Structure 1
Amino acid sequence: MQPTTVQQFAKILAASSDTAFLCATSRLLEPLGYEVVHATDGNNAIEAARSFQPDAIIVSLSSGRIGDLELCRRIKGDAPTSSIPVLLIVNAEADKDCEQLPDYEADVCLLAPLSEGELLVNVARLAERHRVELFHKEQPHTGGCDDSYKTSRAGQISSVAEAACKPRDLTALSDTAESRVTNGIAQAELFEMVMRAKQEWEATFDAMSDGIFIFDHSKRLSRVNRAGARLEDSLPHQLLNRRCCEILRVGESGAAGCIVERIINEGRSATIEVTPDKLQRPLLVTVEPVKEDGAVVGAVCTVRDLTELREIEAVARERHSLLMSVLDCARESIFALDAEGVIQWCNKATSETSGYAMDEIVGKHLLATVPEAEHARVTEYFMRALNGEPQSYEMSYRAPDGHLRYSLVDEAPLIIDWRTTGVLAMARDVTQQKLVRERAAQSDKLRALGQLASGVAHDFNNALAAILGRAQLLRRLVTDEHSLQNLDIIQTAAEDAAATVRRIQTFARQSQTKTYASLDARSILRDSIEITRTRWENDAQARGLQYDVELKIETPLFILGNVSELREVFVNLIINAIDAMPQGGRLLISGAREDGRARLRFADNGTGMLEEVRVRIFEPFYTTKGAHGTGLGLFISYGIIEQHGGAISVESMTSQGTTFTLDLPASEEKVVKGELPQITDDVAPLSILVVDDEDFVRETLVEMLSAFKHHVSERASGAEALEACERRKFDMVFTDLSMPGMDGWAVARGVRHRQRNAKVVLVTGYGTNATPPHDAEEIVDEVLGKPFDFNQIREMLARLSVKMVST
């Protein structure tokens, strides 16, 4: 027969009137393999000891209960139980009773309170000793030797030496005894290690901040830590053996309501959040089933108090709300991108500035609305920021209405938990500033171009004045028909060149003075058609194209406005219509008086416009002509019409053409010009002074005036002219406007100061719109633009002669 280890099937009888002690003993010993039975009084204990034959008996002596001492005496005095070792546990008050006991009443007496490890070690030693003694008694030996195994009242062998004298196999007996004792000691040490581990586990179990409830297969509480007991406002041992549905009231009683009972029945885990009425605090309850061999034998319930977490979350929400309010109050667009360039979050300003809804922005790639031409540049800046290098750059994007908007973007790496997760960007809309800068640049460009055009026009007019004047002078002398034809050609070419120069001067807009008068729209439209004829006729024919520009206004149509500005508008609309018909076409200009308004329509049959182009057609610097357009023509025209108290609108359909409609105030009266005086060559000879620094222009004008039999003197500078006025009286003085040293205005002022009745004519290559000084009307009687011809000079001399007679 081989002995088993002390844990295997070792039987322990626990006798006490304290049921809590009996339950605690079972919880301690049964997990280690002991079989434990309980007895709550002496008679039951004696009966259980006789029938159960335990390996050890534990008797707990309560304060003042001498009956427990009697139980020890009865166990040791009863033959069937006398050899069973007894462990007596007494508390401090009953300690004096233990001293009154005879030697045979208990094998070990321990003083409470004692540790579980101490109890386990003593129980293991007593049980092992008892089982070793039983083993030796069962060994075979010769007759008459039974009394040689004497035992003490504790059931121990009284004399091993005496037993060795008996005729039997004492060597085997010694080896067996030694093995048993060694095994018992080893088992006791192992139990002590187990108990230390158990104590450490229980210390950890009780130190946990979450409440832990362990339920057995019958759904009753078998273990709870201190945190769990605090949730029930109780002590751990007071909660033991309660039903699951009584704990924390986490569900209604019954399998359908109680979460623990449901988990044990269904065998799956669950987590719920509850707020028990008695606690009024949120709890997170997690229940996990405990399984053995696939069967559910209980459940572990973990309860976490969420009060502190909820308070932290409330503070976090408050701070998050504050941060969001601050970010939403920011005027700059702020948005966060992940490492792939996808927008993860944006503030309100991002939506308001871009025109996209916030849910349209979040989840969209940074390059989604950026023009393709800028993709590489924007990506490069983004990657630099992602690699830790802050960036600042200007980018453009297309708004929902199709317009390009511009932003100044600052990017920096977005670092979370010491790791770069993306890029944080802040953008400031600079669309208006950019437009202002572009407008200023365009204005500077146009101003410079205007100044250049003005200077070129002046120089051309000087040359044309000499050419046209000389040609007309020769015509008065030549009688040969062929020569006259040649002179006519020269004169026509010079006049065409002069018309071109006038268009340049119109572009340069030399005059800023606005004089509104009653004007015949038909006359201005005819001039505009002639001004653009080179574009729609000569140039077109050279390219093999045919344009039909028709003016269809049957009756006079008078409007109130400034002739030069309205001419500019009409010229712009004609040129735009020609550009909209790249393969040739027809432009019909019509007009009528309607309800006191003059309505003019420019209708072409060109390519038409898309709606997104039509809505932007009057924007400054917006052009569909690329580098060939400035984007200012229609913008300026729109402003001019508005300043005239009118309106301009456009209708267009793709492939069907475009119609511009102008609505202008109609003039109630036609300006009736006074009849010009009869112009003849019989004007009495006058004394005339001509002042010009350009010799060929001066000499031409002198000869043309001399042809009318006048006495003409000439000077090359203003100083010389004023000096001549000091010595001699002149009826008229023709002075060039642009001269070095002293300009024409200064000469006119000097002449008026010296000879008040002399008529002064300002001759200028800048046209008749030369910007006058404040006293222009007092010092200058007429303005003669270059180039000039005989008819102009004759008419001017006639007008001035009439004025001279009247004064």
Structure 2
Amino acid sequence: MDFRRLLLVDDEEGVRRFLGLSFEELGYEVETAANGQTALELFSSFRPDIVFTDIKMPVMDGIELLKRIKTQSPDTEVIMITGHGDLDLAIESLKFDASDFITKPINNDVLEVSLERARTRISMKRQLREHTENLEKLVEEKTRRIVELERQNAASQVVQGFSSALSDATQEVETGSGLFNELPCLVSIHNRYLEIVAHNTLFEERLGNQVGNNSFDIYSDRDSPGNACPVQKTFDTGKGQRSKENFLGRDGEEIPVTVYTAPLPNNDGDIELVLDISVDMTELKRLKDELLTTQYKYQRVFNDAPCYITVQNPDLSIAEANHLFKKDFGESVGRPCFDSYKHRSEPCADCLVRKTFADGETRQRETVVTTLSGEQKNMLVQSAPIHDAAGAIVQAMEISTDITEIRRLQDHLTSLGIMLGSMSHGVKGMLTSLDGGIYRLESGLKRQDPARVEDATRVLKSMIGRVKKMVLDILYYAKSRELETEELDASSFLKETFEIAEAKAVAAGVESVCDIPEYLGRLTIDSAAMAAALVNFLENAVDACEGRDIAGGGRVAFMARRTGDVLTMTIVDNGMGMDRETREKIFTLFFSSKGKRGTGIGLFISNQTIEQHGGAITVESSPENGSKFIVTLPMATSL
């Protein structure tokens, strides 16, 4: 199936005409609609494989149309058309299983790629459903056949308990009449010289006439009495035998069988003959091979999927994981999911799998995970129930799709506006503080009050530093900025930087300690950017201590040491500390552990600044045990 029926929905006639011609040139059968309501009416009769719809339309918008279509036909792929200002809505549409979104103006190459991706998804979904339906049908059919064959095996085993009654069966086998000739089994009689004395018609049809031949000759892997066959073991032990063997057919082919033997005693109680009843397992083996092949195909689909897939038990332990999950998170089978890729000691508060087990509904949300290599990824996570034959939920499947690139695109397009909005209140407060500081400075100069002048100078210096830091944050994220480096004395620079943050520590009642030796050497850095980064770390350390009941009081220490050509700076506090999940996310854009007090960009930009200077940051922290930030930078070649 080619999946080339396409419904185009847009309230602009020009867009419908232009895109309609483009789709027809690409070989699609196209119908158009001017709004979502008209599109729904047309959808039922046209039954398109792909719907291409604008997000913002009168009567019914694209998001509502997407929801309605997915309710009627989950397999229909929906591609959203969006302007740059509608990117949030486009991202939201992915949560409702939109296939993709394309921004205006529409590029033909991007259009073809998006359509091909949608057709591929339709094909994969239908193949997976066909494989699943065929597997369920095959398992049911083969299980019924296996049960039937096992019943035959059970009937054969009953023979062992009737040795005395079977003594009279020899004549029936020899004459080719009676019960044993009607059984769908290979029946033969053997004497104590390990010779075949009689067999039924089916035996002769499959193995040829074997009367007078050795008992072990009918086996494919035995050629002498030294390699005991079931008949010989029955004579040796006096007990019936049961084993899986391979007979040698009349055309040289191997016939898998389950052999049951029973001793036939004479009137004196001595074993005179052995009855061998063997069930042909050829069909059962074929059915098992087919089942294994089908399971292998299903496993390939599971393992080769380009997303993370896990199957989880009710206790949230991972029962199965695909190759991509194991590659990025290690071997996780048997471990709790929250430990394997969220690095938590307890389940997430909003765990999707728990909710799915509770009500059987599918769920989805976004989250950030960290791989074994330390790479952070934005994921769209979906959960779905797995039922047994009785309809009970026995396991749940969790599928996580990487949307990191989509989020990165959104961040670059919208973050400047978000950032400025979130900082507006802070800017207003700092401007007010600057006005107050200027007033205090002027009044101090007029009154010739040195203390008042000094206090005003300290406030102005602190506020100017904060304004400078905020402006640099905006510049660093709003656009690429080349470093404006200069060579300066490291000790002097670090002490001056510490003084900027010290005012906040004094105001918060937090002890601040500066341990900066003289003559550390010279640094080649962008002093404004580096100062803003270090002040960010120091002020965060103060925030971690402020307002907390700490024995001996809150304390922040700033230390620096030089080892060879590397300068190591350490910021240590005894504040609230962080768990592993927070440590892994603190340098992620817009992540903040301060709630409404944080913008979530400070540490992101500080990390970028350190990396631009060729340095690195490591973090050591645990809840209630404070934090340590270790920053390393290369020194200038001259001392």
From 599, 608, 616, the counterpart of 1:639: 608
SS in structure 1 of the partner of residue 235 of structure 2: helix
Indicate whether 1:502 and 2:464 are aligned.
yes
Give the structure 1 partner of residue 534 of structure 2: 570
Give the structure 2 partner of residue 552 of structure 1: 517
Aligned-partner Cα distance in 2 for 1:656–1:419: 50
Give the structure 1 partner of residue 326 of structure 2: 351
> How far 1:408 sits from its partner (Å)?
0.7
- The count of corresponding residues between Structure 1 and Structure 2 is 445
Give the structure 1 partner of residue 253 of structure 2: 280
From 205, 215, 219, the counterpart of 1:244: 215
Aligned-partner Cα distance in 2 for 1:653–1:413: 39
Give the structure 1 partner of residue 241 of structure 2: 269
From 357, 364, 368, the counterpart of 1:383: 357
From 666, 674, 689, the counterpart of 2:636: 666
Give the structure 2 partner of residue 66 of structure 1: none
Contact 1:335-1:346 at 8 Å conserved across structures: yes
Aligned-partner Cα distance in 2 for 1:586–1:341: 41
> How far 1:284 sits from its partner (Å)?
1.4
> How far 1:286 sits from its partner (Å)?
0.5
* Residue deviations 1:311-366 (CA, integer Å, cap 9, x gap): 5544444444443333322112334456776544433223124x222xx41x4455
Give the structure 2 partner of residue 186 of structure 1: none
Contact 2:330-2:372 at 8 Å conserved across structures: yes
- Structure 1 or 2, whichever has the larger Rg, is 1
Aligned-partner Cα distance in 2 for 1:373–1:538: 39
Q: CA RMSD in A?
A: 5.2
Aligned-partner Cα distance in 1 for 2:227–2:366: 65
Q: 2:382 corresponds to which letter in structure 1?
A: V
Please give the residue correspondences for 1:710-789 in structure 2 after superposition, counting only pairs within 5 Å: none
Contact 2:566-2:633 at 8 Å conserved across structures: yes
* Residue deviations 1:454-502 (CA, integer Å, cap 9, x gap): 2333344445545544554x44xxxxxxxx44xx555444433323431
SS in structure 1 of the partner of residue 240 of structure 2: coil
Q: Structure 1 pair 428/305, CA: closer, same or farther in 2 (3 Å)?
A: same
* Residue deviations 1:667-690 (CA, integer Å, cap 9, x gap): 979xxxxxxxxxxxxxxxxxxxxx
Please give the residue correspondences for 1:393-792 in structure 2 after superposition, counting only pairs within 5 Å: 408-415=381-388, 422-423=394-395, 425-430=397-402, 432=404, 446-462=419-435, 464-465=437-438, 468-469=441-442, 472=445, 474-475=446-447, 484-485=448-449, 488-509=450-471, 512=475, 515-540=484-509, 546-554=511-519, 559-575=523-539, 583=553, 587=557, 589-590=559-560, 599=567, 601-602=569-570, 616=584, 619-620=587-588, 627=595, 633-643=602-612, 645-649=613-617, 660-664=630-634, 666=636
Pick which of 293-302 and 602-611 moved more: 602-611
Q: Structure 1 pair 220/570, CA: closer, same or farther in 2 (3 Å)?
A: closer
Contact 2:192-2:235 at 8 Å conserved across structures: yes
Q: Structure 1 pair 365/213, CA: closer, same or farther in 2 (3 Å)?
A: farther
Contact 1:250-1:259 at 8 Å conserved across structures: no
> How far 1:522 sits from its partner (Å)?
4.8
Indicate whether 1:225 and 2:200 are aligned.
yes
Aligned-partner Cα distance in 2 for 1:523–1:249: 91
Give the structure 1 partner of residue 131 of structure 2: none
Aligned-partner Cα distance in 1 for 2:511–2:338: 46
Please give the residue correspondences for 1:67-82 in structure 2 after superposition, counting only pairs within 5 Å: none
SS in structure 1 of the partner of residue 503 of structure 2: helix
SS in structure 2 of the partner of residue 570 of structure 1: helix
Contact 1:378-1:395 at 8 Å conserved across structures: no
Contact 2:589-2:601 at 8 Å conserved across structures: yes
Q: 1:569 corresponds to which letter in structure 2?
A: A
Aligned-partner Cα distance in 1 for 2:370–2:485: 42
Task: Give unmatched runs, 5+ long, in structure 2.
Answer: 1-166, 476-480
> How far 1:640 sits from its partner (Å)?
1.5
Contact 2:587-2:607 at 8 Å conserved across structures: no
Contact 1:287-1:299 at 8 Å conserved across structures: no
Q: 2:257 corresponds to which letter in structure 1?
A: L
> How far 1:604 sits from its partner (Å)?
5.3
Q: 1:244 corresponds to which letter in structure 2?
A: S
SS in structure 1 of the partner of residue 261 of structure 2: strand
> How far 1:558 sits from its partner (Å)?
5.0
Q: 2:321 corresponds to which letter in structure 1?
A: C
SS in structure 1 of the partner of residue 397 of structure 2: strand
> How far 1:523 sits from its partner (Å)?
4.8
* Residue deviations 1:594-653 (CA, integer Å, cap 9, x gap): 98x68364475969999979995973369996657766544433322333x342455979
> How far 1:224 sits from its partner (Å)?
2.6
* Residue deviations 1:283-313 (CA, integer Å, cap 9, x gap): 3140221467987564332334455554554
TM-score of the two chains, using structure 2 as the length reference: 0.54
Contact 2:586-2:592 at 8 Å conserved across structures: no
SS in structure 1 of the partner of residue 303 of structure 2: helix
Q: 1:276 corresponds to which letter in structure 2?
A: L
Contact 1:367-1:375 at 8 Å conserved across structures: no
SS in structure 2 of the partner of residue 666 of structure 1: coil
Q: Structure 1 pair 344/427, CA: closer, same or farther in 2 (3 Å)?
A: same
Contact 1:601-1:660 at 8 Å conserved across structures: yes
SS in structure 1 of the partner of residue 429 of structure 2: helix
Q: Structure 1 pair 252/588, CA: closer, same or farther in 2 (3 Å)?
A: closer
Q: Structure 1 pair 256/614, CA: closer, same or farther in 2 (3 Å)?
A: same
Q: Structure 1 pair 419/280, CA: closer, same or farther in 2 (3 Å)?
A: farther
Q: Structure 1 pair 345/282, CA: closer, same or farther in 2 (3 Å)?
A: farther
SS in structure 2 of the partner of residue 552 of structure 1: coil
Aligned-partner Cα distance in 1 for 2:615–2:253: 73
SS in structure 1 of the partner of residue 253 of structure 2: coil
Aligned-partner Cα distance in 2 for 1:569–1:339: 46
Contact 1:250-1:258 at 8 Å conserved across structures: no
SS in structure 1 of the partner of residue 529 of structure 2: helix
SS in structure 2 of the partner of residue 410 of structure 1: strand
Q: Structure 1 pair 530/666, CA: closer, same or farther in 2 (3 Å)?
A: same
Give the structure 2 partner of residue 758 of structure 1: none
Task: Give unmatched runs, 5+ long, in structure 1.
Answer: 1-29, 37-115, 117-197, 476-483, 670-807
Please give the residue correspondences for 1:92-491 in structure 2 after superposition, counting only pairs within 5 Å: 202=177, 205-215=180-190, 221=196, 223-234=198-209, 244-245=215-216, 247=218, 251-254=222-225, 257-266=228-237, 267-276=239-248, 279-290=252-263, 296=271, 298-337=273-312, 343-353=318-328, 355-357=329-331, 360-361=332-333, 363-364=334-335, 369=340, 371=344, 372-374=346-348, 377-378=351-352, 380-384=354-358, 389-392=361-364, 408-415=381-388, 422-423=394-395, 425-430=397-402, 432=404, 446-462=419-435, 464-465=437-438, 468-469=441-442, 472=445, 474-475=446-447, 484-485=448-449, 488-491=450-453
Contact 1:290-1:299 at 8 Å conserved across structures: yes
> How far 1:217 sits from its partner (Å)?
7.0
Aligned-partner Cα distance in 2 for 1:247–1:220: 11
* Residue deviations 1:384-437 (CA, integer Å, cap 9, x gap): 57x5x5454567888678999756133133455x76573352412448479859
